Amino acid sequence: MQILDDISTRGFVDLGIYEPEKCISKIALQLGRYLGVRLHANFEQLTTNSTTAKPQNTYAGNYGFSELPLHTDLAHWYVPPRYILLRCVVGDPEVSTLLLHHREVVAQFSEAIVRRALFRPRRRLEGKLFLMRLRDNGIFRWDQLFLTPDNHEARQVRNLMISPHSSFKIMEEVTLAEPGRTILIDNWNTLHGRSLVKTIPSQRRIQRIYFHEEGYDD
Amino acid sequence: MTIKTPHEWSTDALLTKAQRYATLMLDQPRDNWQFGFWSALCLEMLVRASVSKVSTTLLADAKDWNNILFALGKKTGTKLSMKSIDISEALTRAESLFPTFNREMVNFCVLHFQRRNGELHSGALPFDDLGTSWLPHYYACCETLVETVGIPMSQLLGAEEAATATTLIQALKDDAAKAVKGTINAHKTIWEEKELDMRNKLAKQAETLSTKAAGHRATCPACQSVGLIHGTAAGLESSNFTDGMIVVRQPMLPSLFECNACGLKISGFSKLNACGLGGTFTSTVAYDPTDYFEDDFHDRWAGLSEDNNEP
């Protein structure tokens, strides 16, 4: 129940050092059954490298050791993954994962702007370009790199989002420092980012798994 | 299954496109031809979005089953470009699916799309010097269509223009009310000038002529005789078996009122609604089961000789 409460109010749940002896896949299956969602694919291992070490279609290839701006994952997908599970393998106590519920973002705008802001993916996806709303059908999306604003309202949103974090009063931070430290993020409601990585080269390794909502109908 | 892209015939995709066209429309001065041009493109997207809201398959051109497969979100064979129905067919379907999207609105859309066709397929300039007298009818259509897909006008047009649209739609209703009031009063005046005997005779004749078979009986607002309302199908019909007959009930939306006593004629839903004759009614028709299922019998036994036990 606490998991659902936290997801609903904070947009994420900090599971602490969660069953550290188990692998992320087993944890993910458990949580997936509990939440009624299915796994997207196997887990990915995220490391921190310089921008030259990764391709330009990735956040790593664009931001490297710098701050990762607040975003929702795969925001350029029409239906992004519902949840993200992040689990520490090798931590860095100086690096924080930042979390912001989208209600803090939409509170900065009129309902009209939120309803009318239109974005499109910066490049074709499956050969297509298409328009999407900032928030629609229960999904909030934001990505300053992968989404291009298509109208005046969207440009207003972008201008706010690329301004300093101090615009948002409530932001939470979790430090994935210990092996097994796990957080589950509601990717349809909560933005996340990462603070600057000061220790270079970085040994930090985080595992990530996505979950998809069952039976989402477009 | 992951959904990375929306279906191009989905309500969401069509609505975002409609909004884009609406923005382009409103960026133009009202007396510029492009204002009308983009308005027509926006309206087409709204019509298609409303039909798609029921099902994307309703937008598929059923002449080729690959189009239906595409509408269902399945991969098709070698066909590169999927075909959707013409806008005229989309209008017919929208009128059938949504009773509030009445014949008057469909007629306006037909006219507006003809202008669009003229602009795109000829050297004519149908949107030049058009003025904006069409705008209240246009917004009335838009308002009805966005209601079918569950979004407010402000999402399509922005808050300011949505407020303008509301004013224009109300003014249209007021104009219809004024026009019909004038017509009714004129007929009433002429009726009251007739001799009482003549009025009684005409009223009796009107009652005889206004049978249920000919239309829906209603009281004439000018002379209080029995007149007839004719309408168009609005919504799904229902049928049941009663007393040996198939009884089919079809909801109807009024489109014309005629009085055989004083000669009053009121055409168009907005005017009928303005004088209290706009309520939906039900057309009830009883069929002999043989007649009702005639086609099925023909399909089943057609072309066969009499049954026999010849091996």
Q: Which residue in the set A40, A151, A218 is minimally distant from B12, CB to CB?
A: A218
| pLDDT, average across residues B164-183 | 88
Mutate to test the interface with B, among A38, A40, A79 (most CBs of B within 10 A): A79
Tell me which residues of chain B have a C-beta less than 8 Å from any C-beta of chain A. Answer: 2-8, 10, 12-13, 16-17, 19-20, 23, 152, 154-155, 158-159
- Distance from the A186 Cα atom to the nearest Cα atom in chain B, whole angstroms: 17
Average of pLDDT values for B83-109? Answer: 95
CA distance B54 to chain A (A): 12
Choose among B17, B20, B154: nearest Cβ to A112: B154
Mean pLDDT across chain A, nearest whole number? 92
d(CA B58, CA B244): 35
Residue entry with tokens 């029995």: B226
Region A179-192 average pLDDT: 97
Is A79's CB within 8 Å of B3's CB? yes
Q: Is the pLDDT confidence value at B40 over 60?
A: yes
Instruction: Please tell me the distance from the alpha carbon of residue B264 to that of residue B222, in angstroms, as a whole number.
Output: 7
H or E element in which residue B191 lies = helix B159-193
The string of pLDDT tens digits covering residues A52-66 is: 888 888 888 889 899
Q: A104 to each of A9, A110, A148, A168, B2, how far by Cα in Å? A: 12, 12, 21, 6, 28
For B3, the closest of A78, A116, A150 (CB atoms) is A78
Q: Do A116 and B155 touch (CB under 8 A)?
A: yes
Count Cβ–Cβ pairs < 8 Å, chain A vs chain B.
60
Superfamily of chain region A2-213: Clavaminate synthase-like (3.60.130.10)
Partner residue opposite B23 with nearest CB, options A78, A125, A151: A151
B23 contacts in chain A (CB < 8 Å):
151-152
Banded model confidence at residue B301, pLDDT cuts 50, 70, 90: low
Optimal mutation site among A38, A116, A126, A147, interface B, most CBs of chain B within 10 A: A116
| Nearest one of A95, A81, A63, A70 to A171, comparing CA atoms | A70
pLDDT score at A147? 97
Smallest Cα distance from B60 to chain A, Å? 17
Q: How many residues does the structure list for chain A?
A: 218
pLDDT at residue B51 in the model:
98
| Residue from the list B2, B7, B8 with its beta carbon closest to the beta carbon of A40 | B2
Name the residue facing B4 among A78, A112, A137 (closest C-beta). Answer: A78
Question: Which residues touch A78 (CB under 8 Å, ≥6 apart)?
Answer: A130, A132, A218, B3, B4, B5, B6, B12
Least confident of A67-81, B15-29, B110-124, B252-266: B252-266
Max CA distance (Å), chain A: 50
Amino acid B305: pLDDT? 64
For chain B, the domains span 11-157, 175-289
User: Which pLDDT belongs to residue A218?
Assistant: 47
The sign of the torsion formed by the CA atoms of B192, B198, B200, B203 equals negative
Are the Cβ atoms of A218 and B10 closer than 8 angstroms? yes
**Chain B: residue whose CA lies nearest to A116:** B155
Q: How close A43 gets to chain B, by Cα (Å)?
A: 16
Residue A217: pLDDT above 70?
no
